[in-house]
Structure 1
Amino acid sequence: MPPASAATARPRRGEGQWALGYREPLNKNEENKKNDDGLNVRDRIINVYSKRGFDSIDPADLRGRFRWFGLYTQRAPGIDGGKTAVLEPEELDARYFMLRVRIDGGQLSVAQLRAVAEVSTAYGRDTADITDRQNVQLHWVRVEDVPAIWDRLESVGLSTMEACGDTPRVILGCPLAGIAEDEIIDGTPQIQKIYDDYIGSPEFSNLPRKFKTLISGNPLTADTRLINDISFIGVIGPDGAPGFDLYVGGGLSTNPMLAKRLGTFVRPEQVPEVWAGVCGIFRDYGYRRLRHRARIKFLIKDWGAEKFREVLEKEYLGYALADGPDSGIAEGSLRDHVGVHRQQDGRFYVGFAPRVGRVSGTLLDRVADIAEAHGSDRIRTTTDQKLVVLDIDEDRVESIVAALEAEDLQVRPSTFRRQTMACTGIEFCKLAIVETKGRAMTLIEELERRLPEFSEQLTINVNGCPNSCARIQVADIGLKGQLVTDSAGNQVEGYQIHLGGSLGLETAGFGRKVRGLKATAEELPDYVERVLRRFLAQKQEGEAFATWVTRAEEADLK
């Protein structure tokens, strides 16, 4: 750990920053991490808990260190949303786990997809969700089965290590890495190098909070750059060679902030050490006193981009990074990877839309069969809860489209099927207040029936609590789950509504909250239909929904 620099004055009140001498744990989470590295729980799961069962699990492992290997206890069935913040953790716990399989870069082979499918069907009651972090989540996992699950996943090069916890989580990548016609640089080697060198290393296994990374060599597919802890985005450098633009400090949840661009040009070979430097700053200077202020976004907000870059270069890299051009993209572009599109090599990729990311092991196995039958060994997950099959010859395109759509995996879906996402919700999540997946599916069906000709770009993101796992603040229509009062005075499931969020670099901003704008779950289809009809009636030629929201009268948004 480097010494504190002169530029970093000791604060009046300790925030738990290691580099400033505050090493004593200041909350229960920090105490647990000091007592034992989360990576050490693997041996106990294999040798103790899987043999003795759920009741043998130390609570500090169960609700803490298990996350270092992608395991969360799932919500016990039958507990309504009004009790989410009232009951103790042990009262919310089921005796089963959600298991998150990390898929760095969103890259899967047919053998890897089949392994995930087999784990789902054998050990997870055939559950599977494609997440907006390019992972796959399974449910109903028993601790007794975890060693066998790990054996199966690791046999094909997959892992659950550091899929959760205060760690460097899955590294997002462009699903089209290496094949997009307009790609600047393929970020796959950088993702692999960071994974090999640092994931599972004690060097970064005790961070103040989670640490989310994006490495995309294609600015057109890097729309989440502003909401990750660190993002490397492809750009042509001042010397004409390809490299990466660097952003730090984005994040959503209950205190959303957009990442700051550091103004550097990072050469491809520098990416792993720059990533480690930023992660090291977070580890050493990050705020550990209060969990809700422990993300790196709070540090860079206080320091600013200029000071952060100075500390990175002087204390962690030992050299100055070159100044670099902005990797900005044109406004209005949307690349969600759905549909049939040409690759660099003349073949095609085919992207398709499950219903809000909800699939099953059986369905994933079928996708593996379809891909293999059409000559592909490369499947990709996306940050929009979609799947993509690469490397399809032109004369096989219509065949694979027909095979996928026969499984209700739509390649040419409606706007609503294509651009609606939902988090896990109250079905399995202990933080949730309302149901999400089923509500979002119903909303899609209703909107398709009521507005069959609607063809404008429109994102609808549904979240079961304020934590924004489904990115509600940056959706055209963001729905934050909460209990609301219906017309009869009853407390029922409903949503606070955010309108007009965007991640376009010129118009990036969080959705507009209109005072009192809420809807019960039952009212939701009526509300969305109403506001979309007003948009269609009032919009100017070529005007996006988010732009219309900024100028619309409040009455038109209700």
Structure 2
Amino acid sequence: MSKETKAQRVERIKKDKDGLDVLQDIYRYAKTEEEIDPEDIDRFKWYGLYTQNRNLQDEDDSTLYFMLRVKLPEAKLNLKGLEAVADISRKYARATADFTTRQDIQFHFITIKDLPAIFARLKEVNLSTVFASGDVPRNVVTCPVNGIDKEQICDVNALAQDINRYFDKNAELSNLPRKYKVGVSGCSKHCISHEIQDLSFNAIKTETGEILFCVNVGGGLASNKRIASHIGYVTASQVLPIVKAVTQIYKEYGNRENRRKARLGHLLDLWGVEKFIEILHENIDFILQNRELQEYVPYEKREHFGVHESVEDGKSYVGCAIDGGRIGADGLYKLLEILQNNGATTIKATTTQNLVITDVPSSSVNALSKALKEIDIDVNPSPFKARTLSCTGKNFCKYAVSETKDLASRLVAHLQNRFPDFKEPLSFSVNGCSHSCAHPHVVDIGLLGCKVENNRKYVSGFELILGGHLEGDKSNFAKSTGIKFIPEDACQIVENIIESYLNSHYKNFHDYATGKIYG
């Protein structure tokens, strides 16, 4: 009998037992502490769990540790939710906690025996890990200042809730070909990066004042490195029917024979956009509207940092940058205390691993901003700290070949010190492998984890890629420079690139990066 392929194994595991049904096993394993079936470990993903790298584990420690990802619906954490995730971080996760690019929060060093208590604590504050990973619809991303931004095109909170309700614990959607990522936004800055979502909706206001949503499908990174295709416009009432139809098409026709060809974008490539639209129209009772494609804000300007007056009288929202998403238990508790001391109640995570405090009394913004600065959360961040993404990295991720979080912090500190007067918005990514979790292919300067030769040995290192950009149909992916280096050289390598740009004739870094590729 021939050996199962990876895709065959995953499909068999899902058919043998639905991922949603593994919860009872999680509780059983937690109680009995018996050895966990490897196939159940795969199913644990449906509850946000991944086994983690042993890189930071003591040699004599045989414990099976997990990373746990918690979804933040509409990206939101209120005071009780913030306290809950801080408690989980301190009590069960060795004080680890990171914000992700999908507006989730994740922990490390989680043990199976602690999961019942963790799940109970999350339930108290209406948070969940269900469908935080696995071959399912992931957390629906949306603009963190939705509903409070005076410049927004429209409020999409009701739409985001409708989509989340449709996806939430939906057993009919618990066996998709691969992960599936949806976003909806009424943001005038297009901050959800629709170009790399499987399915997305961006609001526009027509000449007559009507609100429509631009529909894009098939975006992604890593093995599905593809800018999403624009397929038309719909009204607000048509958004959920489109979500349902596209999801069902993906479930039925997505590739289940090759995991590397199983995303929605691969189906678009196989069929072509015209056929996809034709199949979609067979599954809905309306026709997508054709109209001129709207202009999009460039990636480097899609941010909400600083203090902004809210639509709510007497309130402001405050956009903040943290180092590569890493906040930890101390940061969470201190953030909670700052909110409480200054009359604020809610934060929202961003798709760039940062956060927005949504309801600060305007009279308190100066005190709050000062207190945040004291814990290294910046309201007016440097161009280097503002847009630096970093993935989980080698310390915890089994796929990573290079460490990321510490390097990202060192890189930011180095560049801030070396170029204190630099003002141009730049984006960075420190990514530990080729899977693109930190979006290295869409930023100005990407560090892509790989093995490099050093002193006749292959060691952890990075490849430098430059010139990634998101701006609708003007988007492009970063290109390789051919430069590979060990982590210890990373700060100097990036410094040299910026120095070279400053001494060039280019007016902006993107033109420099795409016009002068090193090699």
The bucket for the TM-score relative to the shorter chain is over 0.9
Given residue 512 of structure 2, which amino acid in structure 1 is its aligned partner?
W
Instruction: Please state whether the residue corresponding to 1:348 is helix, strand or coil.
Output: strand
1:49 matches 2:49:
no
Q: 2:246 aligns with which of 251, 272, 278?
A: 278
Contact 2:47 2:131 in 1 (8 A): yes
1:524 matches 2:504:
no
Q: CA deviation at 1:223?
A: 5.0
Q: Compared with structure 1, are the counterparts of its residues 412 and 222 closer, same or farther at alpha carbon in structure 2 (3 Å cutoff)?
A: closer
Q: Compared with structure 1, are the counterparts of its residues 202 and 343 closer, same or farther at alpha carbon in structure 2 (3 Å cutoff)?
A: same
Contact 1:370 1:400 in 2 (8 A): yes
State the match for 2:3 in structure 1.
Answer: none
Alignment of 1:500-511 (within 5 A): 500-505=467-472, 507-511=474-478
Q: CA deviation at 1:539?
A: 3.8
Distance 2:62 2:220 in 1: 27
Q: CA deviation at 1:26?
A: 6.2
Q: CA deviation at 1:415?
A: 1.5
State the match for 2:116 in structure 1.
Answer: 147
Alpha-carbon displacement from aligned partner over 1:345-386 (angstroms, at most 9, x marks no partner) = 353211112211111123212212212322222211001110
Given residue 151 of structure 1, which amino acid in structure 2 is its aligned partner?
A
Distance 1:217 1:190 in 2: 10
Distance 1:245 1:448 in 2: 38
Q: CA deviation at 1:238?
A: 7.5
- Percent of aligned pairs with the same amino acid: 37
Q: 1:421 aligns with which of 381, 389, 392?
A: 389
Contact 2:324 2:405 in 1 (8 A): yes
Distance 2:128 2:371 in 1: 30
State the match for 1:171 in structure 2.
Answer: 140
State the match for 2:222 in structure 1.
Answer: 253
Given residue 32 of structure 2, which amino acid in structure 1 is its aligned partner?
R
Unaligned runs of 5+ in 1: 1-24, 80-91
Contact 1:331 1:506 in 2 (8 A): no
Distance 2:467 2:156 in 1: 31
Contact 1:223 1:503 in 2 (8 A): no
Name which of structure 1's ranges 340-349 and 98-107 shifts more when overlaid on structure 2: 340-349
Q: 2:428 aligns with which of 460, 468, 472?
A: 460
Given residue 340 of structure 1, which amino acid in structure 2 is its aligned partner?
V
Contact 1:76 1:94 in 2 (8 A): no
Alignment of 1:460-499 (within 5 A): 460-486=428-454, 488-499=455-466
State the match for 1:451 in structure 2.
Answer: 419
Distance 2:26 2:457 in 1: 44
State the match for 2:8 in structure 1.
Answer: 27
1:72 matches 2:53:
no
TM-score by length of 1: 0.88
Contact 2:299 2:469 in 1 (8 A): no
Q: Compared with structure 1, are the counterparts of its residues 323 and 311 closer, same or farther at alpha carbon in structure 2 (3 Å cutoff)?
A: same
Q: Compared with structure 1, are the counterparts of its residues 69 and 93 closer, same or farther at alpha carbon in structure 2 (3 Å cutoff)?
A: farther
Distance 2:177 2:452 in 1: 34
Q: CA deviation at 1:531?
A: 1.1
Distance 1:303 1:506 in 2: 20
Alignment of 1:333-344 (within 5 A): 334-344=301-311
Contact 1:352 1:386 in 2 (8 A): yes
Q: CA deviation at 1:165?
A: 0.1
State the match for 2:91 in structure 1.
Answer: 122
Alpha-carbon displacement from aligned partner over 1:536-558 (angstroms, at most 9, x marks no partner) = 11144xx3211112222x4xx46
Contact 1:93 1:430 in 2 (8 A): no
Contact 2:223 2:261 in 1 (8 A): no
Q: 2:342 aligns with which of 359, 374, 382?
A: 374
Q: CA deviation at 1:181?
A: 1.4
Q: 2:312 aligns with which of 328, 336, 345?
A: 345
Alpha-carbon displacement from aligned partner over 1:293-337 (angstroms, at most 9, x marks no partner) = 0111100112222221221121x2233233355343244761322
Distance 1:332 1:281 in 2: 30
State the match for 1:213 in structure 2.
Answer: 182
Query: What's the RMSD between the two structures over aligned residues?
Result: 2.0
State the match for 1:83 in structure 2.
Answer: none
Contact 2:415 2:495 in 1 (8 A): yes
Distance 2:321 2:392 in 1: 17
Instruction: Please state whether the residue corresponding to 2:421 is helix, strand or coil.
Output: coil
State the match for 1:17 in structure 2.
Answer: none
State the match for 1:402 in structure 2.
Answer: 370
State the match for 2:515 in structure 1.
Answer: 551
Q: CA deviation at 1:156?
A: 1.1
Unaligned runs of 5+ in 2: 1-5
TM-score by length of 2: 0.94
Q: 1:297 aligns with which of 248, 256, 265?
A: 265
Aligned length: 511
State the match for 1:6 in structure 2.
Answer: none
Q: CA deviation at 1:280?
A: 0.5
State the match for 1:241 in structure 2.
Answer: 210
Distance 2:62 2:162 in 1: 37
Contact 2:190 2:296 in 1 (8 A): no
Q: CA deviation at 1:499?
A: 0.4
State the match for 2:40 in structure 1.
Answer: 61
